[in-house]
Amino acid sequence: MVNYGFMTIYWRDMIRFVRFKTLLISSLIQPALWMAFFGIAMSASFDRLGASIPPIPGVPEVQYLTFMAAGVIAMTTLFTSLFGGIVLLFDKNWGLMREIMASPLPRDHIIFGIALSGMTKSFIQVMIVMIFGLLIGVSFFAGYTIAHTVVALLGIMLFVGMFSIGFLFFSAAISISMDTPEGLQGIITLLSMPIFFASNALYPVSAFPPVLQAISTVNPLSQLVNGVRYFAIGDNFTTMGIHYVYTPADILLSFTVLGIFAISMFGVAWWRFKSAVVT
């Protein structure tokens, strides 16, 4: 018999997600605000710089706003996922974790349940960012047929899903190991900075110093951004005078890196949960 125990954890976390209205609304509005303020402000200056560089004939040129929209999607997914496990820490402190730990539910189901609900939240947010983006002039799916758009959307969600699951496993692992939300917040803030800025989310990495370039190449966030750009913009475009070409092999590699990341993070979470004692 297949055990759907993780759906219990999922169901309860989703109840909380829709119950706290302020949290729900702010988590949906925040990424849109990034697009609106940072995106529009930066694209005004970046596009002016880019205009001085002669375009490559035959290669479509993409506005900065469109370029960075993929980054905002990645960023939103990153932050939501990093904080996705925090409910476990609250449960540990407020006692509910004892009920769960003393129940027959296998511990890996706690991890899967939390990952699944975190992933769902990311999907919802990504949809909102894309819709909002399209409204303010992001040219995603430009010239796509309906079938192509559907495939592109599925591809994006596949990348978002794999990426978020990795960071949710990670978040669950540290949440079950930490004692205070402050400690967890500290670790997450410390990590989110380099992950976010040493990536190709907001700007091209070609101008980075070599060490930073190396970091950004293996950075899971860069893999996600690659995937989103490939599916939403295309495999061949220029932006700010830089030529981007993605081959299917590149994209498969990026996805594989995300897969390996998720599997190893699950290993970490599994190890932390196995040894967790909650009394």
Partner 1 sequence: MSTSIIEVEGLEHQYGDFKAVNGISFTVGKGEIFSFLGPNGAGKSTAINILITLLKLQKGEACIAGYDVRTEAEKVRESIGIVFQEVTLDRDMTVWEILEFHGRLYGMTRPDRKERIAEILELVKLGGQKDMLVKKLSGGMKRRLEIGRGLMTRPIVLFLDEPTIGLDPQTRMRMWDYIRTVNDEGTTIFLTTHYMDEADNLSDRINIIDHGKIIASGKPWELKNELGQDLVYLETSDNPRARSIITDLVSISGVSDKGKGILITTNDDGTKILPLIIEEIRNSGISVITVNLKKPSMDDVFVHFTGRELRDDKPGKSPATFRRR
CA distance 168 to 269: 9
The dihedrals phi and psi of 141, each to the nearest 5 degrees, come to: 55, 30
| Residue 243 burial by Cβ neighbours in a 10 Å radius (0-12, 13-18, 19+) | exposed
For the bound state, the minimum distance from the C-beta of residue 102 to partner 1, rounded and expressed in Å, comes to 5
The helix or strand, by DSSP H or E, that contains position 239, with its residue range, turns out to be: strand 236-239
| Binding flag, residue 274, partner 1 (CB under 8 A) | no
Residue 12, token pair as written in the block: 């309860």
Shorter beta-carbon distance to partner 1: residue 99 or 179: 99
Alpha-carbon Rg for the chain, nearest whole angstrom, is 20
For the bound state, the minimum distance from the C-beta of residue 31 to partner 1, rounded and expressed in Å, comes to 24
For the bound state, the minimum distance from the C-beta of residue 105 to partner 1, rounded and expressed in Å, comes to 5
Binding partner 1 (rule: CB under 8 A), the pick from 14, 24, 105, 128 is 105
Contact characters 84-103, partner 1, x per CB under 8 A: -------x--xxx-xxxxxx
Cα 261 to chain centroid, rounded: 13
Place of tokens 């932006």: 239
Q: Which of residues 13-52 bind partner 1 (CB under 8 A)?
A: 15-16, 19-20
Shorter beta-carbon distance to partner 1: residue 15 or 214: 15
For the bound state, the minimum distance from the C-beta of residue 8 to partner 1, rounded and expressed in Å, comes to 4
For the bound state, the minimum distance from the C-beta of residue 142 to partner 1, rounded and expressed in Å, comes to 43
CA distance 30 to 128: 10
For the bound state, the minimum distance from the C-beta of residue 19 to partner 1, rounded and expressed in Å, comes to 6
Shorter beta-carbon distance to partner 1: residue 52 or 279: 279
Residues 35, 132 contacting (CB under 8 angstroms)? yes
Place of tokens 């905002």: 72
CA distance 149 to 140: 9
Please choose, out of 11-19, 58-66, 166-174, 235-243, the segment that lies near partner 1 by the rule CB under 8 A: 11-19
> Which positions touch partner 1 (CB under 8 A)?
3, 5, 7-8, 11-12, 15-16, 19-20, 91, 94-96, 98-105, 277-279
